Structure 1
Amino acid sequence: MTVRSRDSSYSLGGYLFLLPNFTGFMLFVFLPVIASLLLSFCKWHIFNDPGPRFVGVGNFVRLISDPEFRYYTYNTVFLMLGIPIGMGLSLALALLLNKGIRAIRLYRMVYFLPTVSAGVALLVLWLWIYNPNYGLMNYTLAKVGIKGPNWLAGGTKLQFLKDWLGIDPMCYWSKIALMLMGLWTGVGGYNMILYLAVLQGINPELYEAADVDGANAWQKFRHITWPMLSPTTFFIFIMSLIGGFQGGFQAAYVMTQGGPEGSTTTISFYIFRELYQNHHSGYASSIAWFLFAVVFTLTLISWRFGGRVVHHE
């Protein structure tokens, strides 16, 4: 066998090994993405219509004027308000675990455990925690003399908004409940691990030199630790931004079904509802592509201006 024929057989073997993955990618990723893009310009009720009917940008025009979509976008953005809080708590936890304390590996495992646990199992656990009659949350509040609310169903009117803006919105505890749950599952997860990895890679000689100069703990954090953490912080922010717009489906589906009165319905759950419950495949596809455009635009803007706050060695 010549060298050329041997190389050809090796190349053929490599392509054969790649073929299953490539086939799966084409069938389950690439072609569905192209199909959803085409459907976003069509109107098609899966069971009532004989086939897709081209409507141009009609779905996107409907989307912009859809009050439900605006409300569910507000829900999504509201839940994303927990992102900076979660990032700050993850950083604080990483700083704590970076100290030379006993059983540090055990603490790291315990804090990271919710991230690798089954999502549905955690949601069932939180259903018990938020139960208004025997849940842990209201039991703890009762011990300090506070009557807990119905976390996943109750709400209170925001009277000041009615007085100022003439609207009568409800502030549902379910939004707060889902945000608190997200903080619990996210603080000790991958964000903490990323921060911890960077902290352990900082040269200790930098802190020793700062000690010689008489720097206090805050000055060392501000001038040494934080600049080193800024690229990781920027990366975490971008990923959290993307995940925030795409998230909320699992919790809404398992815990609240999007209620009460749509207060926990996010954009991702709205897409699911339009596609699998209302069978509006074209409109659901337009929502998905509109969401992609928003996330892509915000990501580009963040990358464009993020370099101003990121320290590069």
Structure 2
Amino acid sequence: METKLTVKELKNRTDENEMDLSLLGITKVPVKEIAAVTKANSLDLSCNRIVLLPVGFCGMLQHLIKLDLSKNQLENLPDDMGKLQQLQHLDLYQNKLKKIPISFSQLKNLRWLDLKENNFDSSYLNIVGDCLDDKQCRTCAVNVVKAMKSAASDQERKRQQELKVKREEEAAKKKEEEIVALEKKRAKKLEKERRKIQWEEEQKLKELAAPVEEVDNTRNVSVESEVFETIEETKSSKSCFGSCIMALFIAVTAVTLGVYYYCKNHSSDQNCIVLNQTTEKIYDVLKIWLKSTLEMLKFFVDSLRDKVQHVTN
């Protein structure tokens, strides 16, 4: 089991400004305890079993000038390596690194860098070089910082382009939303105007319909009055005509009955013979008269019906 290093032990391993934590089998870097020894600006963590640097390593150890992480098992470096801006010497020899963080572009004071025996592909190997001596390691530091600055510039340019595209898309979307909102507002206004015009037209139709209805009512009253008067006249005429016919019929019947009973007892009377002949003629005349009367009555009724229909229409 790995022994946890205390601040006191770290101070004991610090000579002036150099802290030596090599060959201790460390897997987890005690970054808080190291940061507590503020005078140590040179840190040697070589020949351990470190796979990953803890969160806060670069932020808490920004005062480091020299850092030796050679002969560990590091597969990745923190993205915030650029925070170690005081760093001048960095040894990453014999690890398992596959890429270099772009934040190396911020290591403006880096003068020496060893990246031999890592898992870089050919694109990185052309930048890193061989690092076989001090001069090549210095060249490596310059080349890596320069390459990462270029990559950072490209990355920033790409980010700005993406940001520009995003802003343009947002502006287009906002404009489209404004157009849609404007169209809705315009449609709502047109609908309101249409309903207003419709309401005004309905009011005008109501105003025009009121006098016509009043005239129709007056005309209906007049027609009803005329029909009533015509019916009353018809009733009166029919009553008078009927009364005359009835009176005439009674008179003729009375005379006929009187003559009949008289002549029945005086059949030899010359006057009865003449009366019988006269009565027969009277009957013939009466038949003709009744027929004419009925025809006149029919004509009167038809005329009256036409008059009533004319008044009604």
Larger radius of gyration: 2
TM-score with structure 1 setting the length: 0.21
TM-score with structure 2 setting the length: 0.21
Which has a greater percent of helix? 1
Higher relative contact order (CA 8 A, sep 6+): 1
